[in-house]
């Protein structure tokens, strides 16, 4: 069975600084998607970034980028130039053959 | 276009009662998945529907059920409510079912906060 592990329950960063959130997963599938979702206090899950497993190039969306290491089954999220609005719960998720599996989340605090 | 709409946003029920939650997916999306989110268990997959058929089910008791209508709207029902059913229930819609190459992103609603007293 697939699993997703986020080992950092909480992280904090100073505004304008860079922070990296960690995620590892386990799977025997070769084709899958990986996602980072953000859940602000409004509770709505918002897609931050997506990575297709067959693509070697790391995905980038403005200030958000990932470090995807397929062999190591690692998928970390880097947030550059952190903003107060980045404060939220961040969930790493695996989308394989039959369902979307989430990690336990990392609460990110951003200090001015 | 309109996003995923979940109703109601908040609900308070008594133990033993039953509840029905509704989810209207994004127009054109035919796959709807449901998740239960609690502080202790995190986000747990309940079930996925595509074209009115349940494709996959998570590890929940039979008190949890769902269905999907021809317009892709979905409902989930929980019977004989227990205190432990208190949670945020999230619905997500996608163009295609999980595992399809067309399923590149799940769009989530704002959830229904269910409190069982």
Q: Give the pLDDT confidence score for residue B1 in this predicted structure.
A: 63
**Maximum CA extent, chain A:** 42
Which chain B residues are Cβ-neighbours of A91 within 8 angstroms?
43
B40-88 confidence digits (pLDDT tens): 888 999 999 999 999 989 999 999 999 999 999 999 999 999 999 999 9
* First and final C-alpha spacing in chain B: 37
Specify the residue for token string 């979307």: A100
- Pair of tokens at residue B117: 């007293």
H helix count then E strand count, chain A: 0, 12
- Chain A CB contacts of B33 below 8 Å: 99-100
Residue B108 is nearest to which of A45, A97, A99, comparing CB atoms?
A45
Specify the residue for token string 């996959």: B56
- Give the span between the Cα atoms of A51 and A83, in whole angstroms: 23
Query: For residue A78, what pLDDT is reported?
Result: 98
Mean pLDDT, rounded, for B16-25? 98
Tell me how crowded residue A13 is: count the other CB atoms within 10 A of its CB: 19
Torsion of CA A94, B29, B5, A65, to 10 degrees: 40
Q: Is the Cβ–Cβ distance between B34 and B66 less than 8 Å?
A: yes
In chain B, whose CA is at the least distance from the CA of A45? B108
Which pLDDT value is given to residue B101? 65
- B30-34, B85-89, B102-106, range with the lowest pLDDT: B102-106
Residue B26 DSSP symbol: P
Contact A95 B98 (CB under 8 A): yes
Which residue shows structure tokens 């227990």?
Answer: B82
Per-run averaged pLDDT (10 residues), chain A, 112 residues: 92 98 94 93 90 90 96 96 97 87 96 96
């Amino acid at each position: 069975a697939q699993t997703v592990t986020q080992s950092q329950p909480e992280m904090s960063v100073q505004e304008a600084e860079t922070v990296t959130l960690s995620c590892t997963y386990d799977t025997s599938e070769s084709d899958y998607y990986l996602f980072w979702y953000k859940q602000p206090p409004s509770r709505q899950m918002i897609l931050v970034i997506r990575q297709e497993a067959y693509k070697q190039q790391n995905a980038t969306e403005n200030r958000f980028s990932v470090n995807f290491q397929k062999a190591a089954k690692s998928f970390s999220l880097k947030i550059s130039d952190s903003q107060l609005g980045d404060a939220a719960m961040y969930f790493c998720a695996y989308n394989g053959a039959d369902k979307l599996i989430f990690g336990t989340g990392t609460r990110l605090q951003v200090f001015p | 276009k309109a996003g995923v709409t979940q109703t109601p946003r908040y609900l308070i029920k008594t133990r033993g009662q039953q509840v029905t939650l509704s989810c209207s997916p994004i127009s054109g999306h035919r796959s709807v998945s449901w998740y239960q989110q609690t502080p202790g268990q995190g986000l747990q997959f309940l079930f996925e529907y595509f074209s009115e058929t349940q494709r996959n089910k998570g590890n929940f008791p039979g008190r949890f059920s769902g269905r999907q209508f021809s317009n892709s709207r979905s409902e989930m029902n929980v019977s004989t409510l227990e205190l432990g059913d208190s949670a945020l229930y999230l619905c997500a819609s996608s163009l295609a079912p999980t595992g399809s190459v067309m399923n590149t992103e799940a769009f989530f609603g704002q959830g229904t906060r269910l409190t069982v007293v």
